[in-house]
Amino acid sequence: MLRFHIITLFPELINTYCSTSIIGRGVQAKSIEINTYNPRDFCLDKYRKVDDTPYGGGAGMVLKPEPFFAAFESIRKKEDTPVLLMTPQGTPFKQELAESLAESSDITIICGHYEGFDERIRTLATHEITMGDYVLTGGELPALAVIDAVGRLVPGVIGKSISLAHESFNDSLLEGPQYTKPPEFRGMEVPEVLLSGNHQLIASWRRQQAIKRTFERRPELLREVDLTDDERLFIEELENS
């Protein structure tokens, strides 16, 4: 089982999402566990104040270290397990990290809000993670993205593990086109090769389509792909077309 520990001022956002769909089924199957910790519950003042004005002046409010440290120290987890701080200043989250995190027993995620963290809260983290070059009102949405991306890789969460092997970013390629019934819809037909029953030919076609889609949409990813000579020639043809 993989246990997620989420430090958040809005636990209901985490709990609502994690009770539905694939992640919800993973929780029910006891493959993953979701625990939330509200720093307000660890405040010692009667107003349960988690933020204050910044030293040196400036707009907005800054999250105080005391309630976040207290929430973190209340978590029962194995030592030396990942602690993620969700921040736009962090490293972009990628599939490779998701796969690494999925091998953990516990993952702690700290969600910010308001203007930002007191800098001392950063000392708790082993990783600072961002979802992209934009700013959100809080860390809950990025935290849910991490939970979803990592949780679905845990054995028992998704029924058919073979489906994971053909997804986008596995082998650094985007996933190619997919089709289902009917074979023709409004003049758009399923490629004949997918109806052939020739599994070797289908696998080759899918690999080629994945390379083509990656070339068209994320060509920088191809630098990380182990390509055959024929596949390099195919890319040259795409470049010259």
130 touches 141 (CB < 8 A) = no
Over the stretch 2-35, which tens digit does the pLDDT of each residue have?
999 999 999 999 999 999 999 999 999 999 999 9
Using CA atoms, how far apart are residues 25 and 158, in angstroms rounded to an integer? Answer: 9
User: Does residue 164 have a pLDDT over 70?
Assistant: no
- The overall average pLDDT reported for the chain is 93
User: Does residue 82 have a pLDDT over 90?
Assistant: yes
User: Does residue 50 have a pLDDT over 70?
Assistant: yes
Average pLDDT estimate for 165-185: 83
The HSE-up count of residue 62 (CA atoms within 13 Å, CB side) is 16
110 touches 72 (CB < 8 A) = yes
Q: Longest C-alpha distance within the chain, in Å?
A: 70
Average pLDDT estimate for 216-231: 95
Average pLDDT estimate for 147-172: 77
Helix axes 229-240, 199-217, angle to 10 degrees: 50
Pairing of strands 106-111, 184-185: unpaired
**From the candidate CATH numbers 3.20.20.10, 3.10.350.10, 3.40.630.30, 1.10.1270.20, the one assigned to the domain spanning 167-240:** 1.10.1270.20
CA 55, distance to chain mean position in Å, is 34
Band the pLDDT of 162: cuts 50, 70, 90. Answer: very low
Return the higher-pLDDT residue of 185 and 170. 185
Domain 2-151 has CATH 2.40.50.100: no
**Closest of 146, 22, 177 to residue 82, by C-alpha:** 146
User: Does residue 207 have a pLDDT over 90?
Assistant: yes
Give the amino acid at 141: L
User: Does residue 161 have a pLDDT over 60?
Assistant: no
Q: How far is the CA of 151 from the CAs of 1, 107, 133, 164, 172, in angstroms?
A: 10, 11, 24, 12, 20
Which pTM was predicted? Answer: 0.88
Give the percent of the chain with pLDDT over 90.
Answer: 88
Structural domain boundaries in the chain: 2-151, 167-240
